[in-house]
């Protein structure tokens, strides 16, 4: 995704949109790593908190990164009139926070 943005999108979108695109790529990468961590922790010691954390990360990726992908490429994709997309970004961020909170809670409870 990052290489696509750096090479294909750079001449087509504004620098601000390209920055938003890179933010989406970065957050998607970090949270895919968090999903892998949650999977590994769950294999070691299953926990509803860790399971919920992974689900929250997936929803966060879809809402946060997905909305940023759409918003940052709207000049190219023609999604310029999709006003509903903007408010999804902070909702996705909230799911990231919920995911991290649940992951840490799952880790703390597994040490008991």
The reported pLDDT for the residue numbered 105 is 96
Separation of alpha carbons 45 and 39, rounded Å: 10
- Give residue for tokens 């601000």: 16
pTM: 0.86
Q: Indicate left, alpha or beta for 61 from its phi (over 0: left) and psi (-120 to 50: alpha).
A: alpha
Select from 31, 36, 26 the least CA-distant residue to 69: 26
The reported pLDDT for the residue numbered 103 is 97
Locate 13 and state its tokens. Answer: 């979108």
Residue 68 has pLDDT above 90, yes or no: yes
- 1 — pLDDT class (breaks 50, 70, 90): low
- Give residue for tokens 């998607």: 28
């Amino acid at each position: 995704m990052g290489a696509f943005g750096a090479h294909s999108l750079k001449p087509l979108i504004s620098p601000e949109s390209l920055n938003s695109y890179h933010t989406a790529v970065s957050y998607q990468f970090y949270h895919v790593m968090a999903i892998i961590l949650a999977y590994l922790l769950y294999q070691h010691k299953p926990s509803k908190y860790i399971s919920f954390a992974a689900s929250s990360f997936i929803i966060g990726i879809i809402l946060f990164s997905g909305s940023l992908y759409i918003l940052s490429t709207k000049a190219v994709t023609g999604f310029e009139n999709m006003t509903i997309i903007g408010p999804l970004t902070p909702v996705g961020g909230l799911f990231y926070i919920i995911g991290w909170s649940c992951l840490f809670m799952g880790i703390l409870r597994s040490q008991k």
